[in-house]
A and B are shown apart, each in its own frame.
Chain A
Amino acid sequence: MSVAEQVRQYILENFLFSTDVSLLGLDESFLERGLIDSTGMLEVILFLEETFGVKVADDEMVPENLDSVNRIAAFVERKKA
């Protein structure tokens, strides 16, 4: 499964409590949708660190890197490279 798909699945199961992929677009902004608040984002970061072995620095915790499935996937790819 691609990074993007893994991330989408995690968010679907833990924030939408569903497995239906049609519920979350890969480019949808979490903030705009009100889907993930600041404490929720910490949860996502934990998932990334545990699942992909990447360390997220404090100043990397910005919407540019994390506010959609595709952004997260791109961010993870950059970190792993």
Chain B
Amino acid sequence: MCGIAGILNLAPGAPVTGTELAGMLQPLYSRGPDGQGTYLDEPQLVGLAHARLSIIDLAGGAQPIHNEDRTVWVTFNGEIFNYVELRAELEQAGHRFYTHTDTEVIIHLYEEHGLRFAERLNGQFAIGLWDVRARRLVLARDRAGILPLFYSRDGGRLVFASEIKSLLRGLSHRPQMNRVALDQVFTFWSPVGATTLFEGIEQLQPGHMLVAENGRVSISQYWNWIFREPGDYLKGSVEDLARELHGLLADATRIRLRADVPVGAYLSGGLDSTALVALMCEGGVKPNTFSLAFEDPGLDESEHQLAAAGHFGVNHRTIRVGDEHIRDGFVRTVWRAETPFLRCAPIPLMALSELAHRSDCKVVMTGEGADEVFGGYDLFKEAKIRRFWARRPDSKWRARLLQRLYPYLDITSARGQAYSEAFFGSGLAGKESAFFAHGPRWKTTAQGKVLFSEETRERIDGAAAVAEFAHALPAGFGAWDPFNQSQYVEAKTLLAGYLLSTQGDRMLMANSVEGRFPYLDHRVIEFANALDPRLKMRVLNEKYLLKKALGPQLPPGIAARKKQPYRSPDSKAFEAGRVEFVEDALSEASLKRTGYFDAGRVQLLWRKVKSGRAVSYKDSMTFIGVLSTQVWHGLFVDGVTPPGGRL
């Protein structure tokens, strides 16, 4: 995959130096261990840097790469999967290539189409492009947010990088925490929009482009999650549409097999990843597969993983994760994620990418995105039930449908039912609200804010997080079916902000493994977004059309299997014994020093966790949120090197 970085003087200033670029490359090592490269233009107004993970054109693909007369340069992290077709077109139009990389098509596309080049790309990317003649820097990020790209205006400079720890090396000062972002984390599970945990550092949003020219910086959007209005959905029989979807996914998978190294696959045991392995086999590739197994039987899916692997006859490896992995991997995960998080789910995923790395696998196909694109989450199902219930709020049997959703919450059918009804019924009157589906989740998460310090509360406006997000909804949103609206909200909050970054790219890159996401091929997304929502969720059968399209190739029973969302051990991992870094992070002295949380309240929660009484999701999320924030502060604000040295 790689890591990129760069510095541009927006106004005349100190020349950019090779030393500065080398400094920024150093923390990107795990993203790009196979080589480094830099480019400095003549008056050293701009510098581009690149850390390489060699996947296509192993011998000849060193970056930054240039055009025929060295007037356009690019540093690029990602893959352009349709590069073969694009190259053919560009060569027809007279462009000459000097490498066999996918990277090079970006440069010639820019020559052909100017700032519209990104619209032709089918892939995952973070791009830094320098146009020598126009003295213009262009940054671009892929549509779904698969790869990261951060930037900051520092004095007269624009500094950008794949990861914040790289960016920090290019800044003249160490930034403080952006409390608004903390508020967003404790609502949406991550910062949203362009916000990051760091004051003065922004992220280029998915589907956006930044242009810096003549001392000015402007940002524009080239793609968004757009849904159709009722009456305008894709026409055709279920069979026809399923066939079309199958074709799209097969092609999305086929082009994602393009690599000069073997491509493996993550196998979770569920529909999405199993289907990908099926498609890969269909495409003539038998991938090595990798899975997570949990010591806690309530979380483990080994049986299904092994069944799938056996069915396809692939070489399968598993790593077994227990509470000690959570404790031992926590600090390193915060370091890689660069943000606090509320669930420990990323930690086992770092162990998984390490397994892939140790197995000499550099690339894995993975099923992330299917739930967002095809409406697979229980959140969507829950919202549907609630809306259905809202039509007859006094109806008991309507509410009983809710129980079907949550068997894994371990609430017996009668016990807790009234409560589940009341909880999920909250806000039934507001069923037309854009945030109807997400309301309960955000509200529960936000309970954690009760631990914020006075100081934190003063610096944020409690209602702002959701209000600001509401403000940024696209025109036409109000006319979309509520199911589609929920999908939009999910794509813009959880998917880009947390799943693809903290749980995705960051955990993969920690061990130099590249992930590829066929379900996030933009043609697949656009197709799904144009569908009648009833094809995504038919009554309560989630991902209906996807199952119809892929079901026939799967091992028996997989499609019918009840959805088991991926969950890892959480605060429970911290119940037993004394864990050094936790004692430090949650000590009264440490809490007072960081000032984000109320020390007394945190201590009470900590006591509750240690005693084994913190059984609810809410408590677990709050605990992990506070702990990861404290650890984050030590790593990024204090700049302390964690125990064990280099992470």
Contacts and interface: CB of A to CB of B under 8 A. Distances in A.
A34 B443 contact: yes
Nearest to A34: B443
B419 A41 contact: yes
Contacts of A63: 418-419, 422
A34 B426 contact: yes
Interface in B567-624: 598, 600-602, 604-605, 608, 613, 615-618
Nearest to A66: B419
Contacts of A42: 411, 415-416, 615
Contacts of A2: none
B613 A61 contact: no
Given A34-B443, A58-B414, A61-B418, A40 B604 contact: no
A13 B414 CA distance: 28
B411 A39 contact: yes
B447 A34 contact: yes
Contacts of B451: 17
B409 interface: yes
Nearest to B411: A38
B415 A58 contact: yes
Interface residues of A, number: 25
A41 B416 contact: yes
Nearest to B412: A58
Interface in A37-81: 37-43, 58-59, 61-63, 66-67
B293 to A, nearest CB: 26
Interface of A: 13-19, 31-32, 34-35, 37-43, 58-59, 61-63, 66-67
A40 B448 CA distance: 14
A17 B604 contact: yes
Given A61-B419, A63-B419, A13 B604 contact: yes
A41 B602 CA distance: 21
Nearest to A47: B613
A4 B615 CA distance: 24
B422 A31 contact: yes
**The 3 residue pairs across chains A and B that have the minimum distance between CB atoms:** A17-B601, A58-B414, A17-B604
A47 B43 CA distance: 72
28 contacts: A14-B608, A16-B601, A17-B600, A17-B602, A17-B605, A18-B450, A18-B600, A18-B604, A31-B426, A32-B426, A34-B446, A34-B447, A35-B447, A37-B423, A37-B616, A37-B617, A37-B618, A38-B420, A39-B618, A41-B419, A42-B411, A42-B415, A43-B616, A58-B415, A58-B417, A61-B415, A63-B419, A67-B422
Contact of B450 (A13, A17, A31, A32): A17
Contacts of A17: 450-451, 598, 600-602, 604-605, 608
A24 to B, nearest CB: 11
A17 B615 CA distance: 15
Main secondary structure of the interface of B (DSSP, over half): helix
Interface centre among B426, B443, B451, B604 (most CB of A within 10 A): B604
B618 A40 contact: yes
Nearest to A59: B414
A39 B422 contact: no
B444 interface: yes
Interface of B: 409, 411-412, 414-420, 422-423, 426, 443-444, 446-447, 450-451, 598, 600-602, 604-605, 608, 613, 615-618
A63 B418 CA distance: 7
B616 A40 contact: yes
Contacts of B426: 31-32, 34
Given A31-B426, A58-B415, A63-B422, A14 B447 contact: no
Q: Interface of chain A, helix or strand or loop or mixed?
A: helix
Contacts of A59: 414
Given A38-B419, A42-B411, A67-B422, 17 more contacts: A18-B604, A31-B422, A31-B426, A32-B426, A35-B447, A37-B419, A37-B617, A38-B411, A40-B616, A41-B419, A42-B615, A43-B616, A58-B412, A61-B415, A61-B417, A61-B419, A62-B418
B225 to A, nearest CB: 28
Nearest to B426: A31
B450 A38 contact: no
Chain A CB count within 10 A is highest, among B417, B598, B605, B616, for B616
A18 B418 CA distance: 28
Contacts of A43: 613, 615-616
Nearest to B402: A38
Contacts of B414: 58-59
A62 to B, nearest CB: 4
Contacts of A18: 450, 598, 600-601, 604
B413 to A, nearest CB: 9
Contacts of A34: 426, 443-444, 446-447
Nearest to B622: A17
A38 to B, nearest CB: 4
A2 B166 CA distance: 58
A42 B420 CA distance: 11
A37 B615 CA distance: 11
Contacts of A39: 409, 411, 615-618
B411 to A, nearest CB: 6
Nearest to A43: B615
A65 B613 CA distance: 23
A78 B357 CA distance: 63
Contacts of B604: 13-14, 17-18
A31 B422 CA distance: 7
Contacts of A58: 412, 414-415, 417
Nearest to B427: A34
